[in-house]
Every structure is written in C-alpha cells, then in structure tokens.
Amino acid sequence: LPKLQIALDGPAGAGKSTIAKIVAQQLHLFYVDTGAMYRAIAYKALSSGAPIDDEAKVSQIAKNTEVVLDHSEEQRVWCDGRDVTQEIRSLEVSRAVSVVAAYPEVRKRLVELQRLEAERGGVVMDGRDIGTYVLPEADFKIFLTATHEERAKRRWLELRRAGKDVSLEEVARDMAERDRVDMERAISPLKPAQDAIIMDTTGLSIQELVAKIVELAGG
Ligand code: C5P
C-alpha cells in the first residue's frame, strides 16, 4: 500500500508546525518537523564553538551528528543521544539555522533522513523544500503563507509563551532575515512547488485550516 505523504511548506511563522501536528494526529500519520533537524545541526555547531560561516567545519559536524525525531506525543528531538528539544528553539539557534541550512552537505545528509522517515509510514512533513525536493511525489502539497505582520506576531507570542523576553520588532527583523536567506539560497530555496496549493492563513483559525487540509486529504 503506498504511504500517504502530505508536504507542508512555507515561511517562518505561517503556522506549519501547529497545523502539521494536528493533521498528523487526526489522520494517524507521522509528523516530521524537518526544521527541527536543521536546528539540531545549528545547535551542535554553535555548542562546539565552530564558526557558523565555516562551511567545511559545519558540514563535517553534520556528517558526524545523529539526529533523531521521536514520534511520541512530545515530539522530542535528540542530537547524539541528548534531548535538545528546548535548546533548538533559542534565539541563537534561530539566527544561525538558515546559514547552516544553506550548505549542500548539511542538506544532503538531512534529506536522506527525511526520505527514510517517509518510507517508514505515512507522513505530514513540514519544511521549506518538501514539495519541491524532498518528496516530489507527495500526494498533497500545501504552501502556507500569511502577512509578514501576522507571522511575526505569531512567532512573538510563541516565544513569549515559552518565557522568552524579546520585542516584536526584534522577532520581525530576525524572521525577515531568515526568510530572505531561505528564499535566496542556491540549493532548494523556499518556494511553492508548481503543483502546490497555496493557502493564506491570515485571519484563519487553526481549526479552520486543519479542517481544510483534512478534508482535502479525504480524512
Ligand atoms: O521550520 P523552522 O522555522 O524551525 O526551520 C528553521 C530553519 O531551517 C529554516 O529557516 C530554514 O533555514 C531551515 N529549513 C530548511 N529546509 C527545511 C526546513 C527548515 O532549510 N525543509
């Protein structure tokens, strides 16, 4: 039986992970947060003291790092056997991750892991290049967008809820920079696949979006 694949791409703060998690639950699929994998590599590079712009060094680190996403309720992220679920959400990691994610060797290694995940079972996979590159044959490709203001506000609220003291302006600035790097990189840039359904999430509730996607996937 072919395994269902739902690709969910879009810029930061478009609501991908929140929606992907619930859709996966409702359709009994694995949720694969590919951004968490890139974050784990960025985290490891930062904690090893490697300069983030040293491509050779960071690529070497990526090759020697074991990244595991578990499929429990909590969606823990493991890096070389250590639970880094909290650490990978720091501002430092958020600032470094796009640089690390632009390195071909880093992508090559993580895309392999992502495709393996999709072989294990049906998936809702969220990221930037899932529909264009990781799962080009995905059954459903959805590209989520929202206005810059709304995305920044969502991200800011998320950080505030996690107890991080940061201004909305700072979050908006960091986010714009991250999206710019993600869209302008040479390899697998952030963009909708040709056959993706584009959904503007501005002003829509999580429930509305989930319902739309579940309906689309015939759930
Ligand atoms: O999804 P999240 O915001 O956690 O992703 C963090 C970063 O990881 C993105 O800004 C991007 O640089 C990188 N990424 C990527 N390709 C993916 C998923 C994430 O380049 N499929």
Pocket of ligand 1 (CB under 6 A): 12, 34-35, 38-39, 97-98, 101, 127-130, 178, 182
Which residue is listed with tokens 């995905």?
138
How high is the pLDDT of residue 16? 93
Ligand 1 atom 7: the closest Cα is on which residue? 35
Helices (H), ranges, the chain: 16-27, 34-47, 55-63, 91-101, 104-120, 148-161, 168-184, 206-216
ipTM: 0.99
Residue 172 to residues 139, 165, 200, Cα–Cα distance (Å): 33, 14, 19
Distance CA 163, CA 179 (A): 24
How high is the pLDDT of residue 105? 97
Residue 163 to residues 19, 35, 158, Cα–Cα distance (Å): 22, 21, 9
Distance CA 131, CA 159 (A): 28
Distance CA 84, CA 138 (A): 29
Ligand 1 atom 14: the closest Cα is on which residue? 35
How high is the pLDDT of residue 122? 95
CB 65 within 8 A of CB 157: no
Ligand 1 atom 19: the closest Cα is on which residue? 35
Nearest atom of ligand 1 to the alpha carbon of 16: 1
Contacts of 129 (CB under 8 A, 6+ apart): 9, 188, 189, 190
Pairing between β-strand 82-83 and β-strand 30-33 as defined by DSSP bridges: unpaired
1 C-alpha to ligand 1 centroid (Å): 30
Residue 21 to residues 33, 169, 178, Cα–Cα distance (Å): 9, 28, 23
Q: What is the mean pLDDT of each run of 10 residues along the chain (219 residues)?
A: 90 93 95 98 96 97 95 90 95 95 98 96 97 98 96 92 92 95 97 96 92 90
Pairing between β-strand 123-127 and β-strand 5-9 as defined by DSSP bridges: parallel
98 C-alpha to ligand 1 centroid (Å): 7
Distance CA 206, CA 18 (A): 8
Ligand 1 atom 3: the closest Cα is on which residue? 12
How high is the pLDDT of residue 1? 60
